[in-house]
Chains A and B, each alone.
Chain A
């Protein structure tokens, strides 16, 4: 009997192909609302930690209380650099200056994170160079290749930072995100522009082999006053947390709206499919089919519809993930297993709830009216 009901459900489902297409499309798009937003946020999280992940530093030392890189300002007296170097387990120290600012290319203004690098930087420099040099000298700047491409800039061209001209000496790759790009100038130029010569923003530290980054970070915090030291992975986690905390509420709202839209589309579809076959359901009842058998048909239909919608939603989101970077190279979509699991479970909830209305209709069906031509 179970197989027969399953067969019936599939027959019903594929009877009206256009209706099936619309229903599956509707539920799929509602689920895409949730999947795509999750993927965008995860993409932003990954972009936000790119510099940290590729910095080559094992530990980030910042002003006390600073546990992030983006959207912050950290100021440490430059004496700190030598103190950090003295901590057992520390191999190298690279002081950097860092602020968010605007670059004027002559054609457009671009928001950038500007990083000042010392000539001997062992960490914090651009990790992929498309052309030119990685560590800029006085009067030079290394900019993101994608940003340069947008404004048709090449090596040797001049752009302005805080009104001062800098010659492009290097083009870096993978140094742009949805919000901005990263640009590198020399530490000395940066200090001059900032009007302060005895301050650094972060000290990027590498550790000796065999040492644990967390342990050395703890040592730095103990031995150097007024600093916060975090291992690279912990620092990256803090950065991800900014994105998560800032986007949590808006994601919850969108998830709820996506869920409600998906639920309504599915309820409408299953209800419509059931009502259009009420005579047939009445006939089945009259020949002895139990309500439970017919409920099963509706549930199978709802589940199959939703699973098809889920599969289509996945396909659309994967296609979006492939297509979006062609239109906006700084926007990436990262689909995670957790997101898939969440949306998959949500789909099953949608299927179960959307079956309630049709099930009530079937329960109320009066088989005797099927034959008398009345409303069943």
Chain B
């Protein structure tokens, strides 16, 4: 142990650089995981705050944010009148792209009936829309485009007055925008009373499963899904889109970490090959060298994991301050995650130097 530490700290600058290098690789992995978890929380924010425990959409529609759903006014009335339904709150939801300051903004436009629920759950300023010409925007998005309560916003050929700013209603991919349901029907050219989804609250003591089954059997052309299942489907949809590139980045960062540890341990081993040769000549076993190399790798990895964690926390905060649309959700177990990643890197990186030392012939070293 003492030998391993001495070897490593022989050149403190080199040790410091390697800890930073591994730290950056681990930081990247933690950041990517934090961004993914943050995105999951952001995209499910609306559904998490929406009323009810069961969601009804058009047949086959099992996502809230994945596609369109249309339910006629008659269907909505039939669902509301189903036995065991305490509240049935309809919304009209459509994705849209709006041009703000020559920038494309991807939004989910939610048409709802103020007073019933399923609108913005926290307003930092202003009030909910009371007429079909009023709109509530996300606070951060509004700030980014110099919009405030009282500003005008032209959208799909119609002029809206911004009357409220909502909190926690955006992600780096999209944001939620709220108008009255009747305004959304007109905007999208749909017959009056058309809805996309209905949030169902069962009567007190009623079972969500029983209500779901009853609606599914009674009314044709609908899809009844538990809220939690829809929430998970939405998360899978968003995370699935970015999952492939993110996983590629994680693999690259992991291999970079292995290479950095490998480089530092290999160099430390090469620098001390004469001393190792002497130790071998006087009878040191290979297991001793494996221990030295592995200890070195583990020490560097732990240093890298701790620096990676600190860097991830700092970088996460910095990103969220500079770009509030990003949520970096680092979980409480992140230290353990960093250590496990670091140790895995260490074990893989120690392989090459350990193999070199195992094959080291003392006579060769002296001849050199």
Contact = CB atoms under 8 A, between A and B. Distances in A.
A and B assemble together: yes
A67 B59 contact: no
A103 B156 CA distance: 28
Report the contact-size class of chain B (Cβ under 8 Å from the partner).
35 or more
Max chain A C-beta neighbours (<10 A), residue from B104, B158, B220: B104
Contact of A226 (B60, B157, B172, B319): B157
A32 B252 contact: yes
Contacts of A194: 70
Chain B residues touching A, majority SS: mixed
Contact of B263 (A23, A163, A254, A257): A23
Interface stretch (B42-50, B186-194, B339-347): B186-194
A65 B156 contact: yes
Interface in B235-281: 237, 241, 244-245, 248-249, 252-253, 255-256, 259-260, 262-264, 266-267, 270-271
Interface stretch (A83-91, A242-250, A339-347): A242-250
B249 A100 contact: no
Contacts of B323: 249
A22 B262 contact: yes
A271 interface: yes
B62 interface: yes
A195 interface: yes
A102 B189 contact: no
Contact of A272 (B223, B252, B267, B326): B267
Contact of B95 (A30, A37, A72): A72
Nearest to A37: B245
Contact of B270 (A16, A103, A246, A357): A16
Contacts of B255: 25, 29
Interface stretch (A124-132, A259-267, A287-295): A259-267
A102 B264 CA distance: 52
B104 A64 contact: no
B106 A102 contact: no
A5 interface: no
Interface residues of A, number: 74
A63 B24 contact: no
B137 interface: no
Contacts of A118: none
B21 interface: yes
B28 A257 contact: yes
A120 interface: no
Most B CB within 10 A of own CB, among A103, A265, A275: A265
A357 B70 contact: no
Contacts of A178: 241, 244
A30 B256 contact: yes
A52 B73 CA distance: 34
Contact of B70 (A103, A160, A195, A320): A195
B190 A75 contact: yes
A235 to B, nearest CB: 12
A107 B221 CA distance: 19
Contact of B106 (A71, A250, A253): A71
Contacts of B70: 162, 193-195
Contacts of B187: 75
A101 interface: yes
B68 A163 contact: no
A109 B256 contact: no
A272 B14 contact: yes
12 contacts: A32-B252, A33-B249, A33-B252, A65-B154, A72-B96, A101-B68, A111-B63, A195-B72, A196-B190, A249-B325, A253-B319, A268-B21
| The 4 nearest A-B residue pairs measured at CB | A163-B59, A64-B157, A75-B189, A99-B68
